[in-house]
Amino acid sequence: MIEIAQVTKSYGRRRALDGAAATFAVGRIVGLVGENGSGKSTLLKMMAGLLRPDSGSVLLDGKPVTRALAGRRIAYMADADLFFPYFTIDQLFGFYDTQFDDFSMEKAYEAADFLRLDRTSKLKNLSKGNRGRAKIAATLARQADVYLLDEPFSGLDPMVREEIVKGLIRFTDPERQTVIMTTHELQDAAPLLDEIAVMKGGRIIAHERTEDIRDEHRGGPSAWMKSLYEKESEPIGAHSS
């Protein structure tokens, strides 16, 4: 379980997180959504142990998340391509194998085959869609407790998104693993998500089960999120008589 307790983080004068708080349970796939600058990527990096909060805490099963703890139990996939471009996919897997004790080469090969990747191809020669597939295969090959994915569908065509969704379902264990992803592609991601957490102004303004959102909000998750933003933007006292 990941607990985020009143976390703040500033970059100079800009407040990226402003008292963010949430609890993410084991075995859930959670979408972290919101407009650009709402704090999603900063919060994800904090859960990955890459940033420290200015105040508040981020805990995994009651223990503060550090780089060392994250390296053992949390798999993080950045939005940017951070890999050596001259690596082949096989070399990328080999590099991961040297860095993480929980990396499974067998699972990496299985994920690569499932995602129809040519493991002899160099990353610099791959399309954006195939680089996205390679990043997902390398990340999911770790036997982590938590997977943190920053915009896994960004810039990918619908067919690639669908394959990545299928890969997430196939190569994660809902009994013991948690997936938290930031995404602007809520409509595509919603069928995969158990829960949706909405961020605005560095805070989590709502966190609901996707099934409840569909039952209670006409128009589904996208309309629900839009209504939340509109409500948050209303001036104080707008509805008072």
Domain positions in the chain are 2-232
CATH 3.40.50.300 fits 2-232, yes or no: yes
CB-based contacts of 82: which residues, under 8 Å, 6+ apart?
A: none
**Of residues 111, 116, 97, the one with CA closest to residue 169:** 111
Q: Which helix (H) or strand (E) holds 223?
A: helix 220-233
- Residue environment code for 54-69, b if the CB has 16+ CB neighbours within 10 A, otherwise e: eebebbbeeeebeeee
Return the pLDDT at 60: 94
Q: Report pTM.
A: 0.89
pLDDT value of residue 241: 34
- In the prediction, which pLDDT does 217 show? 84
Chain-centroid distance of CA 57 in Å reads 19
Please provide the size of the chain in residues.
241
> What pLDDT, on the 0 to 100 scale, is given for residue 224?
86
As averages over each run of 10 residues, the pLDDT of the chain (241 residues) reads: 94 92 93 91 93 94 90 88 83 93 94 92 90 90 94 80 83 89 84 92 93 87 85 55 34
The partner residues of 203 in beta bridges, in order of sequence, read 200
- Residue 164 to residue 115: CA distance in whole angstroms: 8
